[in-house]
Amino acid sequence: MRVHIATDHAGMELSAHLITALAAKGYDMVDHGPQAYDAEDDYPSFCINAALAVVADQAAGVDALGIVLGGSGNGEQIAANKVKGVRAALAWNLSTAKLAREHNDANVVAVGGRQHSVEEATEIIEAFLAEPFSDAERHVRRIGKIATYETTGEVVD
């Protein structure tokens, strides 16, 4: 699986750890930056580029997911969710990480680097990456309604 990762200055230590640890587990890691620490950096471009890459890979039939990191993960999740076709979920424990994939078929996970130890964040992200979508009809239906709104602006009951 290809994994696109992006961060801001607050998640750089975690990002570096994840790139190494996940590559060692066989994931094809693609780093969308930043490449150098800058306490004044702006995360949206990094996260949007990672999200765009996830959508492009998935459209091309590549098994791909994304990770966006920051201090809280909130802004990074918001930025990623602006990309058409992205379902980014903020995960703060194993359950939210697994449910994001199982129920929502989330394709990007956001984690706050200042909210967890490196070990805890790694477990959360590994749980997200490993969990398959359930493909249950009710979840497919709900995701379809979100996609309809995203592409047409129509709210489906």
For residue 72, give the CATH number of its domain: 3.40.1400.10
Quickly state the pLDDT bin for 110 (edges 50, 70, 90): very high
Annotated binding-site residue numbers: 8-9, 71-75, 104, 114, 138, 142
- Is residue 69 situated within a structural domain? yes
Tell me, what's the pLDDT at 104?
Answer: 98
116 falls within a domain: yes
Residue 24 belongs to domain spanning? 2-152
What is the arithmetic mean of pLDDT over 81-104? Answer: 98
Nearest CA to 122 out of 47, 48, 20 is that of: 20
Q: Which pLDDT score is estimated for 28?
A: 98
- Overall number of domains in the chain: 1
This model's pTM is above 0.85: yes
Give the active site residues: 76, 103
Where do we find the tokens 């570096």?
A: 16
- 157 in any annotated domain: no
What's the pLDDT score for residue 137? 98
List binding-site positions for D-ribulose 5-phosphate. Answer: 8-9, 71-75, 104, 114, 138, 142
Per-residue pLDDT tens for 123-142? 999 999 999 999 999 999 99
**31 lies in a domain?**
yes
The secondary structure of 63-119 as a DSSP string is -EEEEEEESSSHHHHHHHHTSTT--EEE--SHHHHHHHHHTT--SEEEEETTTS-HH
- Side chain identity at 49, as an amino acid letter? N
